[in-house]
Structure 1
């Protein structure tokens, strides 16, 4: 079975900018049966592909960040929907898991055997190939002295290396 030969554009305008204002460049992600996007204060937008009734701004989870214009990224990791909060110029990284039963963000203490790769616009999760790379968050630091380096955080002590 094949899909259509042509792509069809389906615009879904944000009709409620006061409730949800994702930063430019942060992409929505596909998680289970829907697309999700998040704005800088942790408000979640969702599009359920099974219902096909457009985007909605979820009343929960409640905003967890106030007046913060640093990016939030979403990623699926080990079956969970995670929010990655990046501080100013990568000075800090915090991870939250969406508890769907309570519809609230819960801070994550460990990624277990997973690792995350973060860029300015997206985030990718993978199972670590060895114990030295588990529970780490890797991201490029492309602006340092004109050269590209790879930094990482480890969650137990939030140390940057």
Structure 2
């Protein structure tokens, strides 16, 4: 009887070994098909199962999971470092590092429609779609004009796409439209210029909005210039925002966001409580078809985002419907803490992370990502041979 039991156990062990062996011998094509739909954390576990599974899947896999995930339209924070690019997803608490040689040494200037606008020290400019690896080169601009900030109006595949850059003091604005071979440089009157705040500008319906230091807003009407470039005198329309004095004097970082005809200004304070202020400005007043009268335009403080989430970063900022309920009325910053995104709650007036109990009112909470931008994962219809 004992010998029979031993024999049965041996047979079971043999069957188990054969079963395990069969999983290890799955066709690489099948393994690749399965792994292509795994998110970052599960993908790492998948590769750790056995040698054959690890060999069937590349270390730097395409970013398909970000496109196929249930929350694919939720922005993720992308950072370009010296050797690798990193993606931080606020919902999945996952960090994905990937080598993208095309981006090494490049500075993120702007992000929208799933595209990145980048530049290099040699004044070369290009679009890059990290989810399809498509790169679109633009004509370089002259070294004399070192653009401090840049943005674009629509996807680079669109016929009306315009790229704009502005120098540090706002003395020059350069723009180039799709199909053009050279940049057009607008020289501004010195008395109309001031020092920019450094935040990303906004291009909306042909008007270019920049935030100046001391909280002032400057506007350049590109349509008016294009209508009469020889007669039009380049100057900023600058108006005082009427912001509280303690904000103008004490804010450390600022961001501009356009959403459905409204301009949102976000100020992160230094050693102040509360640490973050939001103001909105209606760019399309109802009942008025005439030219905007800036003296009647006023900032209004926003105390509640309700069911929306605000994502801010040096390269791209978005106001989106909250992907999950717990993200409502929060501002996600270009910061991470233990590889988790840092956000500011307008309700608690504190900085938090979803995956940590720690919270603080101090603005220095988390690690600031310099060359970074929020980007919305999406597909593109552009092909590799697409040219500007």
Q: TM-score range by the shorter chain?
A: 0.7 to 0.9
Q: List structure 1 segments (4+ residues) > 4 angstroms apart after TM superposition.
A: none
In the superposition, the TM-score normalised over structure 1's length comes to 0.76
Alignment of 1:8-157 (within 5 A): 8-13=183-188, 15-16=190-191, 20-23=194-197, 25-52=198-225, 53=232, 54-62=234-242, 64=244, 65-68=247-250, 70-88=252-270, 92-99=275-282, 102-120=296-314, 122-141=316-335, 148-157=339-348
Of 125-134 and 43-52, deviating more is 125-134
Of 72-81 and 42-51, deviating more is 72-81
In the superposition, the TM-score normalised over structure 2's length comes to 0.35
Kindly name which structure, 1 or 2, has the bigger radius of gyration based on alpha carbons.
2
Q: In the alignment, is the contact (CA less than 8 A) between 1:110 and 1:135 conserved in 2?
A: yes
Deviations 1:9-45 (A, max 9, x none): 324446237x63213x422111333110112321001
- The structure, 1 or 2, with the larger RCO (C-alpha pairs under 8 Å, 6+ apart) is 2
Task: Say if 1:110 and 1:129 are closer, same or farther in 2 by CA, change over 3 A.
Answer: same
Task: Say if 1:79 and 1:115 are closer, same or farther in 2 by CA, change over 3 A.
Answer: farther
Task: Say if 1:140 and 1:28 are closer, same or farther in 2 by CA, change over 3 A.
Answer: closer
Q: Structure 2: 5+ residue runs without aligned partners?
A: 1-157, 160-177, 226-231, 286-295, 353-388
Aligned residue for 2:145? Answer: none
SS in 2 for 1:153: strand
Deviations 1:36-90 (A, max 9, x none): 0112321001112221243413234335444336222110134310000011289
User: How far 1:129 sits from its partner (Å)?
Assistant: 1.6
User: How far 1:5 sits from its partner (Å)?
Assistant: 4.3
Of 30-39 and 90-99, deviating more is 90-99
User: How far 1:157 sits from its partner (Å)?
Assistant: 3.2
- Give the CA RMSD over aligned residues: 3.0
Q: In the alignment, is the contact (CA less than 8 A) between 1:141 and 1:148 conserved in 2?
A: no
Q: In the alignment, is the contact (CA less than 8 A) between 2:200 and 2:210 conserved in 1?
A: yes
Q: Structure 1: 5+ residue runs without aligned partners?
A: none
* Alignment: residue pair count: 156
Q: In the alignment, is the contact (CA less than 8 A) between 2:200 and 2:314 conserved in 1?
A: no
User: How far 1:98 sits from its partner (Å)?
Assistant: 1.5
Larger helix proportion, structure 1 or 2? Answer: 2
Aligned counterparts of 1:148 and 1:89: Cα–Cα separation in 2: 24
